[in-house]
Structure 1
Amino acid sequence: MRSVCVYCGSNPGRAPIHAEAATRFGEALAARGLELVFGGGRVGLMGTVADAVLRAGGRAYGVIPRQLVEAEVAHTGLTELHVVGTMHERKTKMFERAQGFVALPGGFGTMEEIFEVLTWTQLGMHARPCAFLNVGGFYDHLRAMLDHMVAEGFLKAEQRANVWFGDDIEALLAWMQDYRVEPISKWIVPPTAAEA
């Protein structure tokens, strides 16, 4: 694995533990020689994780829509900043560059981005690791919701098991490095009349 895509808040959150975890995560990426792939912003946890990577001598690759550059939220000190026209282009570029995906705490955008790549895993479009850094229990309710999806028959247990949750950064990165998964069909297809 050469690079990790991080989805996280463009706000810092109320509790200092979020920024502290983003800093530690950025430092851990740099220490392992892993490039950060992210949304290219200088604000919130996005800026925090990028700054930590850069301070530690690592590489940070950002992708940001022109509209956000014009709003003056682009990080101008990155190893590489790619400006695109739309959010769809942004997500595509980030996906193409990354070998794994991690959600740190965040809001709507973070959820939308990590769930898109989780869906692509479910559909067999890639077999890259997806994880949630569960800072201070931030993702406890979401983890329970995924388990509820399994219990209600909307998500296969094997697919749920391929999503990592935890607060140990080194354990997360080691899991991603060793990640191997066989594709699992999303659908539970009933037998046809001829097969029944």
Structure 2
Amino acid sequence: MSFQADHPVYLAIRRQYEMAKLGPRAPLKISQLADRHVSSTIPVREALVRLTSEDVAEQIPGQGFHIRSVSLDEMLIHYQICRTLYEMALNDLERLEHVCLRSSVSINEVDLRPADDKAETKPEFQERRIRALGGLILNPTQNKIYKRSLLITCPVRWIMHGDPELDPNISEYLETLLPCLKARRFAEARKLVTTYFESMQSTLRTPYEMYSRQFS
């Protein structure tokens, strides 16, 4: 089956999931979604099949589509996947010519910097920063496994961003990471990536339990 990548029904459902408005086991009724999005049932079904292929939804025989439940262990695995791919991508970046690396940093740097002081604390900006950092570190690899892991871990990250005590703020690492990349100090960059993901994984249980309780 082919998908229209930017179909509004798919984008709307995915965005609700990303913003933690759809939790584990939430039903995804095709007729209701079609009415809500003023659409026929065909693009809705295609959207749900695609989300199933991305491990966001699942189809249960006799029960239809639901948001897929993800265990804490699986969530930890996906954070480890992200960390491993970042480390592999740093190896790729290290092999780039200096001018190519500076160009890659410049392309993504805009989204890594807040437009104003208030933007710094908003979950939307924190989420954009993580995606922009992924774009910077993973360019030129753009690994599909990373993108899937990023989507699966997204709802719990939103809860972490909403509670500063839970979130190891990525801005603390960016202030050092960007200069490291520009100056090609990759040993320091690897250490920062390791520290960041270790911090994320060490605090993951609390927001995961909050997320699970919220939608149980």
Task: Check whether TM > 0.5.
Answer: no
Q: Using CA pairs under 8 Å that are at least 6 residues apart, name the structure with larger relative contact order, 1 or 2.
A: 2
Q: More helix per residue: 1 or 2?
A: 2
Q: More strand per residue: 1 or 2?
A: 1
